[in-house]
Amino acid sequence: MFLSSVLTSGATAIDASEVEINQVWEKLFNEPITFEVDEYNTISMPWVKSPEINADIYYDLNVGVETNQELLSEIQNYSQLSDRIASDFEYFADCPGENEQVDLLIAQKLGWEDWILRGDLEEHIARVESWLNEGIDWDYAPATVGPVGEAYQYFNNYAWSTQEDLGIVVIEGEHPGSSYYAAELRVPVEDANQRAEQMGIPIRFISI
């Protein structure tokens, strides 16, 4: 868990030598991974940059496609983008005369997928690129992005007993429909740091 994040040159805990692993552990115990804890007990990774636009999250979305089918496949891989394209299609469907091609598709009882397949490829690529440059809608963003999301994912990989021993509670929605996913520290920082040291876990917490 720890080793994968600190081994260099693409090495992993599986292919690293015993010497490399020992060096990593020594570095970790000399310089523990430090997490921040805010006034609401939410844990975050201070070295992780908070994303601002959709492209910061969906960086693997490929707009360098050559066919409409390839673009449709890319769009369908991302539910938030699919919803946005569908919403654009519905907008034109509700405003006859605004988009001639949509009018024709509606007359044939076809949907937004056919709009992507039959429309101008460059125009649809531009539509996707415009969405990528928009600000993030955090109600629908993946739970594992940003300083808080990365910390949530990190501690969610711990065994429940380890979470409990450290005084950490992983929250997966405060109530039905909630988009709040986070790891929270439910004991004082000093107490948590003492526990981590006693357990041989090279992490520390600081209050912000």
Rounded to an integer, what distance in angstroms lies between the CA atom of residue 163 and that of residue 166? 5
The pLDDT value recorded for residue 55 is: 96
CB 60 within 8 A of CB 140: no
pLDDT averages per 10-residue partition of the chain, 208 residues: 43 58 64 93 94 94 96 96 96 94 95 96 97 91 89 94 96 76 96 95 94
pLDDT of residue 8: 40
Q: What is the pLDDT, as a whole number, of residue 157?
A: 93
The residues pairing with 181 across neighbouring beta strands, listed in sequence order, are: 172
Q: In DSSP terms, which residues pair with 184 in a beta bridge?
A: 42, 169
**What pLDDT is attached to residue 198?**
94
> pLDDT value at position 180?
86
Of 202, 147, 154, the C-alpha closest to 28 is 202
φ and ψ at 205, to 5 degrees?
-125, 145
Contact call for residues 75 and 67 (beta carbons, < 8 A): no
